[in-house]
Homo-oligomer: A and B are copies of this chain.
Protein backbone atom coordinates (compact mmCIF):
# COMPACT_ATOMS: atom_id res chain seq x y z
CA UNK A 1 0.00 0.00 0.00
CA UNK A 2 1.15 3.45 -0.75
CA UNK A 3 1.64 6.11 1.78
CA UNK A 4 2.99 4.85 5.07
CA UNK A 5 6.54 3.96 4.10
CA UNK A 6 9.48 5.98 2.90
CA UNK A 7 12.67 4.67 1.32
CA UNK A 8 13.73 1.57 -0.56
CA UNK A 9 16.53 -0.04 1.47
CA UNK A 10 16.75 2.29 4.46
CA UNK A 11 13.01 2.32 4.94
CA UNK A 12 10.72 3.83 7.55
CA UNK A 13 7.10 2.72 7.93
CA UNK A 14 4.88 4.48 10.44
CA UNK A 15 1.53 3.90 12.07
CA UNK A 16 -0.66 5.72 14.51
CA UNK A 17 -3.21 8.42 15.08
CA UNK A 18 -2.90 11.50 17.22
CA UNK A 19 -5.21 10.25 19.94
CA UNK A 20 -5.06 6.48 19.54
CA UNK A 21 -3.12 4.33 21.97
CA UNK A 22 0.28 4.93 20.42
CA UNK A 23 2.15 5.96 17.32
CA UNK A 24 5.22 4.11 16.14
CA UNK A 25 7.06 2.57 13.28
CA UNK A 26 9.47 0.09 11.83
CA UNK A 27 12.86 1.12 10.52
CA UNK A 28 14.24 -1.46 8.12
CA UNK A 29 17.60 -1.68 6.46
CA UNK A 30 19.76 0.02 9.01
CA UNK A 31 23.02 -1.94 8.73
CA UNK A 32 24.01 -4.17 11.65
CA UNK A 33 26.67 -3.33 14.20
CA UNK A 34 25.98 0.39 14.57
CA UNK A 35 26.25 1.52 18.19
CA UNK A 36 23.17 3.59 18.82
CA UNK A 37 23.26 6.62 21.10
CA UNK A 38 19.72 6.43 22.43
CA UNK A 39 20.09 9.69 24.28
CA UNK A 40 20.89 11.49 21.04
CA UNK A 41 17.71 10.09 19.56
CA UNK A 42 15.68 11.37 22.49
CA UNK A 43 17.31 14.79 22.16
CA UNK A 44 16.03 15.02 18.58
CA UNK A 45 12.59 14.07 19.87
CA UNK A 46 12.81 16.84 22.42
CA UNK A 47 13.58 19.38 19.70
CA UNK A 48 10.27 18.49 18.03
CA UNK A 49 8.10 18.02 21.09
CA UNK A 50 5.32 20.37 22.17
CA UNK A 51 5.71 22.60 25.18
CA UNK A 52 9.42 23.20 24.74
CA UNK A 53 9.15 27.00 24.67
CA UNK A 54 6.71 29.83 25.00
CA UNK A 55 6.12 30.18 21.26
CA UNK A 56 4.98 26.64 20.55
CA UNK A 57 1.92 24.68 21.56
CA UNK A 58 1.66 24.14 25.29
CA UNK A 59 0.39 20.58 24.97
CA UNK A 60 2.36 18.28 27.23
CA UNK A 61 3.56 15.19 25.41
CA UNK A 62 6.57 13.44 26.83
CA UNK A 63 7.31 11.72 23.53
CA UNK A 64 9.45 8.99 25.01
CA UNK A 65 10.50 6.49 22.35
CA UNK A 66 10.36 2.89 23.37
CA UNK A 67 12.41 0.54 21.21
CA UNK A 68 10.93 -2.92 20.85
CA UNK A 69 13.33 -4.79 18.57
CA UNK A 70 16.36 -4.64 16.33
CA UNK A 71 18.84 -3.48 18.97
CA UNK A 72 20.91 -5.91 21.01
CA UNK A 73 23.68 -5.08 23.43
CA UNK A 74 23.47 -1.44 22.32
CA UNK A 75 23.98 -2.13 18.64
CA UNK A 76 21.72 -2.49 15.63
CA UNK A 77 21.34 -6.11 14.59
CA UNK A 78 20.31 -5.57 10.96
CA UNK A 79 16.76 -6.70 11.74
CA UNK A 80 13.85 -4.25 11.77
CA UNK A 81 13.87 -1.68 14.55
CA UNK A 82 10.34 -1.52 15.93
CA UNK A 83 9.44 1.40 18.16
CA UNK A 84 6.45 3.10 19.72
CA UNK A 85 5.61 6.36 21.42
CA UNK A 86 2.64 6.25 23.77
CA UNK A 87 -0.07 8.86 23.30
CA UNK A 88 -0.38 10.19 26.80
CA UNK A 89 -2.18 13.38 27.83
CA UNK A 90 -4.75 13.03 25.10
CA UNK A 91 -7.41 15.60 25.72
CA UNK A 92 -9.84 14.00 23.30
CA UNK A 93 -12.57 16.14 24.74
CA UNK A 94 -10.87 19.06 23.03
CA UNK A 95 -12.02 17.59 19.76
CA UNK A 96 -15.66 16.83 20.35
CA UNK A 97 -16.51 20.10 18.68
CA UNK A 98 -15.02 18.91 15.40
CA UNK A 99 -16.59 15.48 15.40
CA UNK A 100 -19.34 16.53 13.07
CA UNK A 101 -17.94 19.65 11.46
CA UNK A 102 -15.01 20.27 9.17
CA UNK A 103 -12.24 22.65 10.11
CA UNK A 104 -11.24 24.84 7.16
CA UNK A 105 -7.95 23.92 5.46
CA UNK A 106 -7.65 20.77 7.54
CA UNK A 107 -7.89 17.19 6.32
CA UNK A 108 -11.24 16.55 8.09
CA UNK A 109 -13.40 16.87 5.00
CA UNK A 110 -11.19 14.94 2.59
CA UNK A 111 -10.67 12.05 5.05
CA UNK A 112 -14.41 11.68 5.48
CA UNK A 113 -14.86 11.75 1.72
CA UNK A 114 -12.04 9.32 1.05
CA UNK A 115 -12.58 6.77 3.82
CA UNK A 116 -16.27 7.18 4.64
CA UNK A 117 -15.50 8.13 8.22
CA UNK A 118 -12.53 9.22 10.28
CA UNK A 119 -10.88 9.16 13.68
CA UNK A 120 -11.63 12.83 14.33
CA UNK A 121 -9.66 13.13 17.55
CA UNK A 122 -6.83 15.56 16.97
CA UNK A 123 -6.74 15.03 13.25
CA UNK A 124 -6.22 11.28 13.58
CA UNK A 125 -3.74 10.04 11.03
CA UNK A 126 -3.45 13.46 9.41
CA UNK A 127 -2.05 14.95 12.62
CA UNK A 128 1.51 16.25 12.60
CA UNK A 129 2.03 14.03 15.61
CA UNK A 130 2.99 11.35 13.06
CA UNK A 131 6.18 13.28 12.36
CA UNK A 132 7.53 12.19 15.76
CA UNK A 133 8.10 8.79 14.17
CA UNK A 134 10.05 10.40 11.35
CA UNK A 135 12.31 12.06 13.87
CA UNK A 136 13.08 8.66 15.41
CA UNK A 137 13.96 7.20 12.01
CA UNK A 138 15.89 10.28 11.01
CA UNK A 139 17.88 10.33 14.24
CA UNK A 140 19.05 6.79 13.56
CA UNK A 141 19.83 7.71 9.95
CA UNK A 142 21.95 10.60 11.24
CA UNK A 143 23.96 8.18 13.38
CA UNK A 144 24.47 5.94 10.37
CA UNK A 145 25.58 8.95 8.30
CA UNK A 146 27.85 10.34 10.95
CA UNK A 147 30.26 12.10 8.55
CA UNK A 148 27.50 14.17 7.00
CA UNK A 149 26.42 17.40 8.63
CA UNK A 150 22.73 18.10 8.21
CA UNK A 151 21.63 21.50 9.51
CA UNK A 152 18.21 23.01 9.10
CA UNK A 153 17.21 26.39 10.46
CA UNK A 154 14.38 28.90 10.23
CA UNK A 155 15.09 31.49 7.54
CA UNK A 156 11.73 33.22 7.32
CA UNK A 157 8.68 33.83 9.53
CA UNK A 158 5.87 35.67 7.81
CA UNK A 159 7.63 38.52 6.04
CA UNK A 160 10.64 38.56 8.32
CA UNK A 161 13.46 37.12 6.28
CA UNK A 162 16.99 36.13 7.16
CA UNK A 163 18.84 37.86 4.34
CA UNK A 164 22.17 36.13 4.63
CA UNK A 165 23.84 33.36 2.75
CA UNK A 166 24.07 30.24 4.85
CA UNK A 167 27.85 30.46 4.70
CA UNK A 168 27.72 33.67 6.71
CA UNK A 169 25.82 32.04 9.56
CA UNK A 170 26.98 30.11 12.58
CA UNK A 171 24.64 27.15 12.34
CA UNK A 172 25.76 26.01 15.76
CA UNK A 173 23.56 28.79 17.12
CA UNK A 174 20.33 27.50 15.60
CA UNK A 175 19.09 25.96 18.81
CA UNK A 176 20.17 28.87 20.98
CA UNK A 177 16.77 30.52 20.60
CA UNK A 178 13.22 29.15 20.53
CA UNK A 179 12.67 30.14 16.88
CA UNK A 180 15.68 28.16 15.66
CA UNK A 181 17.03 30.97 13.53
CA UNK A 182 20.84 31.13 13.81
CA UNK A 183 20.97 34.93 13.62
CA UNK A 184 20.05 36.20 17.10
CA UNK A 185 18.77 39.58 15.93
CA UNK A 186 16.50 38.15 13.28
CA UNK A 187 15.45 35.41 15.68
CA UNK A 188 14.34 38.00 18.19
CA UNK A 189 12.21 39.77 15.59
CA UNK A 190 10.69 36.48 14.49
CA UNK A 191 9.91 35.51 18.06
CA UNK A 192 8.27 38.83 18.70
CA UNK A 193 6.18 38.42 15.56
CA UNK A 194 5.04 34.96 16.55
CA UNK A 195 4.01 36.22 19.99
CA UNK A 196 1.92 38.95 18.44
CA UNK A 197 0.25 36.62 16.02
CA UNK A 198 -0.56 34.24 18.83
CA UNK A 199 -2.09 36.99 20.87
CA UNK A 200 -4.56 37.49 18.03
CA UNK A 201 -5.37 33.78 18.07
CA UNK A 202 -3.86 33.72 14.62
CA UNK A 203 -0.96 31.87 12.99
CA UNK A 204 1.80 32.63 10.50
CA UNK A 205 3.87 30.72 7.93
CA UNK A 206 7.60 30.30 7.61
CA UNK A 207 10.52 28.93 5.65
CA UNK A 208 13.15 26.43 6.72
CA UNK A 209 16.49 26.27 4.96
CA UNK A 210 18.54 23.10 5.16
CA UNK A 211 22.24 22.71 4.46
CA UNK A 212 24.01 19.36 4.11
CA UNK A 213 27.78 19.23 4.15
CA UNK A 214 30.34 16.50 3.56
CA UNK A 215 28.11 14.75 1.06
CA UNK A 216 29.92 12.09 -0.97
CA UNK A 217 29.74 12.40 -4.75
CA UNK A 218 27.29 10.05 -6.43
CA UNK A 219 24.18 9.94 -4.23
CA UNK A 220 20.87 9.87 -6.08
CA UNK A 221 19.45 7.76 -8.86
CA UNK A 222 18.93 8.92 -12.42
CA UNK A 223 15.60 9.71 -13.96
CA UNK A 224 12.72 9.41 -11.47
CA UNK A 225 14.54 9.14 -8.16
CA UNK A 226 16.85 12.08 -8.52
CA UNK A 227 18.35 13.18 -5.22
CA UNK A 228 16.52 16.49 -5.22
CA UNK A 229 13.25 14.86 -6.36
CA UNK A 230 13.38 12.52 -3.40
CA UNK A 231 14.35 15.35 -1.06
CA UNK A 232 11.47 17.37 -2.48
CA UNK A 233 9.00 14.58 -1.92
CA UNK A 234 10.33 14.06 1.59
CA UNK A 235 9.86 17.73 2.46
CA UNK A 236 6.49 18.11 0.74
CA UNK A 237 5.25 15.13 2.75
CA UNK A 238 5.73 17.09 5.98
CA UNK A 239 2.49 18.63 7.25
CA UNK A 240 1.84 22.23 6.10
CA UNK A 241 4.58 22.32 3.44
CA UNK A 242 3.66 24.24 0.27
CA UNK A 243 6.89 24.50 -1.67
CA UNK A 244 10.42 23.24 -2.15
CA UNK A 245 13.38 24.64 -4.04
CA UNK A 246 17.06 23.72 -4.06
CA UNK A 247 20.16 25.52 -5.21
CA UNK A 248 19.20 28.58 -7.24
CA UNK A 249 15.52 27.52 -7.04
CA UNK A 250 12.84 29.85 -8.35
CA UNK A 251 15.33 32.71 -8.50
CA UNK A 252 17.52 30.72 -10.88
CA UNK A 253 14.82 31.06 -13.51
CA UNK A 254 15.85 34.66 -14.10
CA UNK A 255 19.47 33.81 -14.76
CA UNK A 256 21.15 33.08 -18.03
CA UNK A 257 23.02 29.83 -18.47
CA UNK A 258 26.30 31.71 -18.64
CA UNK A 259 25.68 33.09 -15.15
CA UNK A 260 24.09 29.97 -13.71
CA UNK A 261 26.56 27.31 -14.81
CA UNK A 262 28.96 26.25 -12.08
CA UNK A 263 32.50 26.23 -13.48
CA UNK A 264 34.76 23.42 -12.32
CA UNK A 265 37.87 23.66 -10.23
CA UNK A 266 40.58 21.13 -11.13
CA UNK A 267 39.56 18.90 -8.18
CA UNK A 268 35.98 18.51 -9.39
CA UNK A 269 34.53 21.02 -6.96
CA UNK A 270 32.82 24.03 -8.50
CA UNK A 271 33.56 27.74 -8.21
CA UNK A 272 29.91 28.59 -7.64
CA UNK A 273 27.11 26.35 -6.43
CA UNK A 274 23.88 27.33 -8.13
CA UNK A 275 23.35 23.60 -8.58
CA UNK A 276 22.88 23.25 -4.84
CA UNK A 277 25.16 20.25 -4.69
CA UNK A 278 23.13 18.22 -7.18
CA UNK A 279 23.75 17.81 -10.90
CA UNK A 280 21.55 15.60 -13.03
CA UNK A 281 19.92 14.34 -9.86
CA UNK A 282 23.18 13.14 -8.32
CA UNK A 283 25.24 14.76 -5.58
CA UNK A 284 28.47 16.39 -6.79
CA UNK A 285 30.11 16.75 -3.40
CA UNK A 286 29.32 20.44 -2.94
CA UNK A 287 27.00 21.56 -0.15
CA UNK A 288 23.39 20.62 -0.71
CA UNK A 289 21.00 23.38 0.28
CA UNK A 290 17.30 23.78 -0.13
CA UNK A 291 14.33 25.80 1.16
CA UNK A 292 10.99 24.53 2.39
CA UNK A 293 7.86 26.73 2.62
CA UNK A 294 5.33 26.13 5.41
CA UNK A 295 1.87 27.65 5.36
CA UNK A 296 0.33 29.22 8.45
CA UNK A 297 -1.18 26.59 10.76
CA UNK A 298 -4.87 26.13 9.96
CA UNK A 299 -6.08 25.91 13.56
CA UNK A 300 -6.88 29.37 14.89
CA UNK A 301 -8.09 30.29 18.37
CA UNK A 302 -10.80 32.37 16.81
CA UNK A 303 -14.46 31.99 15.99
CA UNK A 304 -15.14 30.87 12.44
CA UNK A 305 -17.97 29.66 10.29
CA UNK A 306 -17.84 26.27 8.63
CA UNK A 307 -20.00 23.32 7.54
CA UNK A 308 -21.01 20.06 9.14
CA UNK A 309 -21.35 16.65 7.50
CA UNK A 310 -24.77 17.52 6.17
CA UNK A 311 -23.56 20.74 4.64
CA UNK A 312 -25.19 22.98 7.25
CA UNK A 313 -23.38 26.15 8.13
CA UNK A 314 -22.20 26.03 11.73
CA UNK A 315 -20.34 28.40 14.03
CA UNK A 316 -17.17 27.03 15.58
CA UNK A 317 -14.21 28.19 17.59
CA UNK A 318 -10.77 26.67 17.72
CA UNK A 319 -9.67 25.52 21.10
CA UNK A 320 -6.98 23.29 22.41
CA UNK A 321 -3.30 24.05 22.42
CA UNK A 322 -1.86 24.79 19.02
CA UNK A 323 1.27 26.18 17.42
CA UNK A 324 1.07 29.77 16.23
CA UNK A 325 3.92 29.00 13.81
CA UNK A 326 5.07 25.56 12.84
CA UNK A 327 8.63 26.16 11.71
CA UNK A 328 10.54 26.14 15.02
CA UNK A 329 9.36 22.59 15.76
CA UNK A 330 9.67 21.51 12.12
CA UNK A 331 13.45 22.05 12.01
CA UNK A 332 14.26 18.55 13.38
CA UNK A 333 11.64 17.04 11.06
CA UNK A 334 13.28 18.57 7.99
CA UNK A 335 16.64 17.25 9.15
CA UNK A 336 15.16 13.82 9.85
CA UNK A 337 13.60 13.48 6.42
CA UNK A 338 16.83 14.65 4.77
CA UNK A 339 18.76 12.04 6.72
CA UNK A 340 16.35 9.29 5.67
CA UNK A 341 16.71 10.27 2.00
CA UNK A 342 20.49 10.32 2.16
CA UNK A 343 20.82 7.07 4.11
CA UNK A 344 18.73 5.30 1.50
CA UNK A 345 20.86 6.59 -1.36
CA UNK A 346 24.04 5.62 0.46
CA UNK A 347 22.77 2.04 0.68
CA UNK A 348 21.53 1.99 -2.91
CA UNK A 349 24.95 3.09 -4.12
CA UNK A 350 26.55 0.03 -2.59
CA UNK A 351 25.04 -2.15 -5.27
CA UNK A 352 27.14 -0.53 -8.00
CA UNK A 353 30.34 -2.56 -7.84
CA UNK A 354 30.82 -4.95 -10.78
Q: Which residues of B are found within 8 Å of A206, using beta-carbon distances?
A: 253
Q: Which residues of B are found within 8 Å of A89, using beta-carbon distances?
A: none
Contact B118 A252 (CB under 8 A): no
How distant is A63 from chain B, measured CB to nearest CB, in Å? 15
Provide a sorted-by-A list of 25 A–B residue pairs whose CB atoms are within 8 angstroms: A1-B348, A2-B344, A6-B224, A13-B26, A14-B223, A15-B70, A23-B68, A32-B352, A105-B261, A107-B279, A107-B280, A113-B268, A116-B354, A158-B254, A200-B258, A204-B256, A226-B236, A243-B244, A243-B245, A243-B246, A247-B295, A257-B296, A260-B296, A266-B307, A267-B311
How distant is A213 from chain B, measured CB to nearest CB, in Å? 17
Residue of B nearest to A17 (CB): B69
Q: A32-B117, A109-B279 are in contact. Are A84 and B81 (CB under 8 A)?
A: no
* Across the A-B interface, the 10 shortest Cβ-Cβ residue pairs: A107-B280, A3-B221, A243-B245, A15-B82, A1-B29, A203-B257, A205-B253, A233-B233, A114-B218, A229-B236
Contact A232 B236 (CB under 8 A): yes
Residue of B nearest to A203 (CB): B257
Partner of A225, one of B237, B298, B306: B237
Q: A53 near B: Cβ within 8 Å?
A: no
Q: Which residues of B are found within 8 Å of A9, using beta-carbon distances?
A: 1, 348, 351
Q: Which residues of B are found within 8 Å of A184, using beta-carbon distances?
A: none
Contact A13 B16 (CB under 8 A): no
Q: A142 near B: Cβ within 8 Å?
A: no
Q: Which residues of B are found within 8 Å of A21, using beta-carbon distances?
A: 66-69
Contact A293 B250 (CB under 8 A): yes
Q: Which residues of B are found within 8 Å of A217, using beta-carbon distances?
A: 110, 113-114
Contacting residues of chain A (5-19) with chain B, CB-CB under 8 angstroms: 5-6, 8-11, 13-17
Q: A173 near B: Cβ within 8 Å?
A: no
Q: A283 near B: Cβ within 8 Å?
A: yes
Q: A50 near B: Cβ within 8 Å?
A: no
Q: 13 additional contacts, CB 8 Å, given A15-B26, A15-B70, A252-B295?
A: A2-B348, A9-B351, A15-B69, A23-B82, A78-B114, A126-B222, A126-B280, A207-B250, A229-B234, A260-B295, A261-B304, A347-B351, A350-B350
Q: Which residues of B are found within 8 Å of A306, using beta-carbon distances?
A: 263-264
Contact B266 A313 (CB under 8 A): yes
Cα distance A77–B236 in the bound complex, in angstroms: 24
Q: A349 near B: Cβ within 8 Å?
A: yes
Q: Which residues of B are found within 8 Å of A4, using beta-carbon distances?
A: 26, 28, 79-80, 221-224
Contact B261 A300 (CB under 8 A): yes
Q: A228 near B: Cβ within 8 Å?
A: yes
Contact A82 B32 (CB under 8 A): no
Q: Which residues of B are found within 8 Å of A328, using beta-carbon distances?
A: none
How distant is A250 from chain B, measured CB to nearest CB, in Å? 5
Q: A270 near B: Cβ within 8 Å?
A: yes
Q: Which residues of B are found within 8 Å of A183, using beta-carbon distances?
A: none
Q: A185 near B: Cβ within 8 Å?
A: no
Residue of B nearest to A71 (CB): B20
How distant is A225 from chain B, measured CB to nearest CB, in Å? 4
